Structure 1
Amino acid sequence: MNRTRTTRGFVWVRLAVGVALIGLLCNASAWAADPATTTTTTTHKRHHHVVTTTTTTTPATGPNEEQRLNALSGQVGNLQKQTDDTTSEVKKIEAAMVVAQPAANASPATIGQHVGLNETNIASIQKNLTDNLGISVHALVDAGYEHNFNQPNANVNAFRAWDEDGFQLTQGNLHIERDGTVGFVTDINVGQVANSISSVTHYSNVAFVGGQWIDPTQYYLTYTAPFGSGVSFEAGRFVTLLGAEIIPVYNNQNFNESRGLLFNLGEPLTHTGVRASYTFNDYVSATAGLNNGWDDPAANNNSGPNFEGELALNNKDKSLALVVNGIVGDNAVPGSNGKQVSNANLGAIDPIATWKPSFVPNLTLQAEYLYASQSGPVINGHSASWQGAAGYIVYDFNPALEAATRAEFFDDMDGARTNGEAQTLWEITQTISYKIPEVTGLIARLEYRHDNSSQNSFTNNNFVNPTTGQQHLWHGQDTLAANFIYAF
C-alpha cells in the first residue's frame, strides 16, 4: 500500500514539473517575441476551434512619422521664405513713407515726400499768419440746458443777462487778433449772448429792431507807441472797463455760468471810442479813454464824450490787487416820444478787490462795489441812482475741479434799471466747474441760483387774472443749469 502511494506521488510530481516546463517554454517564446507585437487568443468553445488575432503597433520612429516630419519641415521652410519676402516689402514701403522733402527742384516721388511737402506748406502758412503777420484765431462755444422752477411764460428768466429756461446756445465766440506794434482785435458773438448784447447796445442795427443773433461785440485797432515801457492805444468798439465779470472769450472766462445783477443791471457793456493804457511798474498801471457813452450807437447822440478811467494796483506776486474803474459823461435818455432827445450826466465808480491768501492755497476771494447816478429826467421826471455789491469765494480742489460761490445785492432806489419799480434784489449762486480729462479746453458746469426781490417781480406760469388782465408775480425764482464750454 505504501508502494502504491509512493508511485502515485511520483506521478503527481512528474505532472507538476511537466506543466511548469511547458509554462516556462511559453513565457520564453513570449519574451523572445517583438515587444511591440501583442497576441490575443480567443477560444470559441461552441465550435471547438481556436482563433488567433495579432495587432501590430507601429513604433514612434517608424517610416510614416519620418515622412510627416520631413513634409512639415518643408512647409516651415516655405513659410520662412514668405516671411523674409514680406519683411523685405515692408522695409521698401517704410522707406517710401519716410517724411522727407524731395531733392531741390525735384517733384515728390514717394508717399513720405508728398506728406513732407504738405507739412512744409502748412507750416509755412502758420508761420506767415502767426510769426510774420501775428494773426491768431480762437473760438469758444457754450451750450447747455437750464430749468427755471417758476416755469415762466415765454421761458424768460427775469433780470438775467442772457440765460433762459430750456436748451440754448448760450454763446458762440470767434476771436481774431493780431499782435505787434500795429494790430487789431475782433470778437464776433452768436447765440443768446449776441441777442442780449445787441438788444442793449443797439450796435447791430442802426434802425433798432430788437435782439439779433449775431453781434460784432469788439472790433478795434491797437497801436503800441514807443514811450517808456510802451503806451497801448485802442480805437474802435471795445468792452467796458467796469465790472468784475466780463463777456467771455477763449482765454478769459467768469467763475460762474450766469452773469450777476451788477453786470446785467448796473454797468455798461461796450463803448465806441479811444483809450490808452500804460504800465508804470510791477505794481501800478492805468487806463484812460474817451467814448460815446453807455451802450450808445456808434453815432454819437450825446452833447459830449464820456470819460473813462482805470487804476490798477497790486503787490509783487499779484496775490492782492485793487482795481478802481470809473466813467462819467453826458448820455442821451428817452424823451416823451420814445426817442433819445434829452441829455443827462451819467457817472459810475466801481472798485474791485481780489485776494489770494497764501495760507489757504487755491483760494480766491473777490469783492466788487458799484455806485452810479444819472441826472435829469431819467425816471418819473427826476434823476436816479443805484448801487450794489458782489462777493466771490472760489476754491480749486485740484487743477480740474473748481467751486465758485457768488452772493450779491442790487438796490435800484428809483426803479431806473428794473422796469420802473424801485426795489432791492439779491441772489446767491453756486457753480461747480470740471475740466474734462484729456480734452484740453473742455469744461462741464453745474450751477444752482436763487434770485429774490423786495417786490413781486418774477414771472411764472400762473394764469392771468381774467378781471385785471394781470399775472400774479412772485418774490423769487430758482434755476438749475448744466453747460459744456469748449474753448480753443
Structure 2
Amino acid sequence: MRRGAMGVGLFLAVFFLVFRPAYAQEAKGLAPGWLSLDSSVGLIDKKLADAKAPLEKALGISISGFLDSSYTWSSNRPGFGNDDDISLRVFDKDHNEIVFNHLNLTLEKPEKDWGVGLKLVADFGRTAELLREATLWGSKLQVPGAGSGGEPSAELREAFVTFTVPIGAGLQVKGGKFVTLMGTEIISAPGSPNPNISRSYLFGFAIPFTHTGVLFSYPVTSIFTLMGGPVTGWDNPRDNNRQPSFHGGFTLTPAEVFSFTASTMIGPEQRHHSGRNRITTSGVATIKPISALTLFLEYTHGHEDKVTASLRDGTWHGFAGIASYDWTDRFNTALRGEFFKDSDGARLGGNIPGTHKDVTVGEITLTGAYKLTEKLLGRVELRQDWADERVFQKGNTRSDKNQTTLALQVIYTF
C-alpha cells in the first residue's frame, strides 16, 4: 500500500499541475487563484457532487470521504535493516517514499429520520494500517503477523449509534466505537484536515485515539455541555482487564471567539492488572480573535501506576500551540510549537533507540496549504524536532538530538 499506484498517480498529477497557471473561469465559491485547477479538476468536483446527491437522497444517509497521499523526507535518513521509519512520528513515518495514506469513507444518518442516528467511518491505506497497529482488538480479532508488519491496510475507526432521551434539554447517548474527546488534533475527517501535515507528540503519545463504550452528553446551558461514560479503555475495543474506564469532560463556549474543552480518561489499561490506573487529562482552548486567525492552546498531563519495566509509576505532560491564518480563501499557513516530557519512559520508551528513561522532546512546524479547487488541497511542510537525548534514528546505527523533515501532501475530499 505504501507505493500504491493510486497514491503515486494522485500525488504526481497534482504536483506537476500545481505550478501551471489557470486563467479560465473560476469555480463559484473561491476567489480566482493563479494556481487554481478549477477549470480542470474543479469539473470533477461538480460531477462527483451531482452523482452523489441522488444516492444520498435515496438512502437517506450522508456519504463523504477523502483521498490523501504524501511524501516525507528526513535529514537523518533513517535506516536500520529494512526499517526506515522516521523517529517518533505517528502517521508520517516513511522516509523518502510517496505514500498512499488514506482512503476514508464516512456514512452518517441523522437521528431525525428514525429517532436513532448512525455513523460508520472506515479507513484504508497506510494510516489505517498504523491505526490498526495501535488498536488492541484482542486475540479473537488479531491478524496473523500482527506486530511485525502483518496488519491489513484497513481499519474501522468509528461505528456508533446515537439517540436523544427527552429529559430537560435532551440527553444524547452515543454507543459503540468512537474517537476520543481529548486533544487538539484529530484523525483526519472529510473536509476537516488538521492544520499541519504531521501530528504533534501530544496526539501520538500523550492521549488515546479511540474508545469503545457509551458516552452521555447533556447541554446544561447554552454555553456549557457535560460529557461522560464508561469505556473499555485506551484504543482497546476489547477490555484487557475486565475493569472499565471512565472517559468524559466538558465544553465551555462563552463567546463565538473563545471555547474551552477539558477531558479526562481514568482507569486501568494494563493487561490483567485492574489495580494499576492510568489518568490522563487534557485542556484545549480555541481562540479566534479575528475571522482569519485561529489559535489552539493545549496542555495534557498523564500518570500511570507501575508502568515501567522496574514497576515504577510513569508521568508525562506537554504543551502545544497552533496558530492558523487564512491569508485568502485559498491560502493558509499554520505554525505549531510544542514540548513533551516523558519523565519515566512510559510513553516514548519503546519508540526510541537506547534506554533513555527521562526524555523531553520538542518541535516547531510550519505548514502552507493551498486550495487548488474546493475539494483539492495541496500542502507543504517544514518541521524541526529536537530532544535532550539522542532519540532520533540517524542512518543505520547512529542517533541524534535533532531531526528535520520536509513533507508534501495532496488531499481530495468528496
| Structure 2 residue 179 is matched with structure 1 residue 179 | no
Higher relative contact order (CA 8 A, sep 6+): 2
Partner of 2:57: helix, strand, or coil?
helix
One-letter code aligned to 2:318: G
Corresponding residue for residue 100 of structure 2:
169
Task: Give 1:350's match in structure 2, choosing from 254, 269, 282.
Answer: 282
Corresponding residue for residue 323 of structure 1:
261
One-letter code aligned to 2:215: R
For 1:41-56, list aligned pairs within 5 A.
none
Distance 1:212 1:341, change over 3 A: farther
Partner of 2:199: helix, strand, or coil?
coil
Q: Is the 8 A contact 2:242 2:274 kept in 1?
A: no
Partner of 2:349: helix, strand, or coil?
coil
Distance 1:137 1:315, change over 3 A: same
TM, length-normalised to structure 2: 0.79
What is the distance in 2 between the residues matched to 1:189 and 1:448?
26
Corresponding residue for residue 371 of structure 2:
435
One-letter code aligned to 1:266: A
Write out per-residue CA displacement over residues 119-160 of structure 1, whole angstroms, 9 at most, x where no aligned residue.
Answer: xx9987543323xxxx11111111021111211113311111
What is the distance in 2 between the residues matched to 1:430 and 1:122?
35
Unaligned runs of 5+ in 2: 1-50, 351-355
What is the distance in 2 between the residues matched to 1:341 and 1:347?
15
**Offset of 1:197 from its aligned partner?**
1.1
Q: How many residues align?
A: 344
Corresponding residue for residue 412 of structure 2:
486
| Structure 2 residue 403 is matched with structure 1 residue 477 | yes
For 1:57-76, list aligned pairs within 5 A.
none
Corresponding residue for residue 158 of structure 1:
87
4+ aligned runs moved over 6 Å, structure 1: 121-124
Partner of 1:332: helix, strand, or coil?
coil
Task: Give 1:405's match in structure 2, choosing from 319, 326, 335.
Answer: 335
Q: Is the 8 A contact 2:248 2:263 kept in 1?
A: yes
One-letter code aligned to 1:157: I
Partner of 2:204: helix, strand, or coil?
helix
Corresponding residue for residue 226 of structure 1:
166
Q: Is the 8 A contact 1:292 1:302 kept in 2?
A: no
Higher helix share: 1
One-letter code aligned to 1:427: E
One-letter code aligned to 1:175: T
**Offset of 1:270 from its aligned partner?**
0.8
| Structure 2 residue 237 is matched with structure 1 residue 305 | no
What is the distance in 2 between the residues matched to 1:390 and 1:291?
27
What is the distance in 2 between the residues matched to 1:178 and 1:224?
14
What is the distance in 2 between the residues matched to 1:204 and 1:331?
13
What is the distance in 1 between the residues matched to 2:54 and 2:125?
35
Corresponding residue for residue 445 of structure 1:
379
For 1:199-210, list aligned pairs within 5 A.
199-203=133-137, 206-207=141-142, 209-210=146-147
Write out per-residue CA displacement over residues 88-109 of structure 1, whole angstroms, 9 at most, x where no aligned residue.
Answer: xxxxxxxxxxxxxxxxxxxxxx
Distance 1:125 1:423, change over 3 A: closer
What is the distance in 2 between the residues matched to 1:302 and 1:147?
40
For 1:57-456, list aligned pairs within 5 A.
126-130=56-60, 135-153=61-79, 154-163=83-92, 164-165=94-95, 166-180=97-111, 181-203=115-137, 206-207=141-142, 209-210=146-147, 211-296=151-236, 298-316=237-255, 318-333=256-271, 343-358=275-290, 361-419=291-349, 421=356, 422-436=358-372, 439-456=373-390
Q: Is the 8 A contact 1:401 1:435 kept in 2?
A: yes
What is the distance in 2 between the residues matched to 1:221 and 1:270?
15
Distance 1:396 1:244, change over 3 A: same
Q: Is the 8 A contact 2:56 2:63 kept in 1?
A: no
Q: Is the 8 A contact 1:271 1:292 kept in 2?
A: yes
Partner of 1:376: helix, strand, or coil?
coil
Partner of 1:197: helix, strand, or coil?
helix
One-letter code aligned to 1:290: P
**Offset of 1:281 from its aligned partner?**
3.2
One-letter code aligned to 2:390: N
Q: Is the 8 A contact 2:136 2:238 kept in 1?
A: no
What is the distance in 2 between the residues matched to 1:388 and 1:279?
30
TM, length-normalised to structure 1: 0.67
Q: Is the 8 A contact 2:160 2:174 kept in 1?
A: yes
One-letter code aligned to 1:194: A
Q: Is the 8 A contact 1:204 1:216 kept in 2?
A: no
Corresponding residue for residue 32 of structure 2:
none
What is the distance in 2 between the residues matched to 1:190 and 1:451?
29
Identity of aligned residues (%): 31
Write out per-residue CA displacement over residues 301-352 of structure 1, whole angstroms, 9 at most, x where no aligned residue.
Answer: 2242111112111123x2111111111011124xxxxxx5565101011011
Partner of 1:172: helix, strand, or coil?
strand
**Offset of 1:236 from its aligned partner?**
0.8
Unaligned runs of 5+ in 1: 1-120, 334-339, 463-470
**Offset of 1:389 from its aligned partner?**
0.6
**Offset of 1:212 from its aligned partner?**
2.9
Distance 1:299 1:447, change over 3 A: same
One-letter code aligned to 1:156: D
Partner of 1:427: helix, strand, or coil?
strand
One-letter code aligned to 2:265: I
Distance 1:374 1:441, change over 3 A: same
Write out per-residue CA displacement over residues 266-324 of structure 1, whole angstroms, 9 at most, x where no aligned residue.
Answer: 1111111000112233311121111011112x3222242111112111123x2111111
Distance 1:305 1:204, change over 3 A: closer
What is the distance in 1 between the residues matched to 2:52 and 2:392?
55
- The structure with the larger Rg is 1
One-letter code aligned to 1:241: L
Distance 1:259 1:125, change over 3 A: closer
Write out per-residue CA displacement over residues 237-274 of structure 1, whole angstroms, 9 at most, x where no aligned residue.
Answer: 11111110001110322111111100001111111100
What is the distance in 2 between the residues matched to 1:176 and 1:204?
26
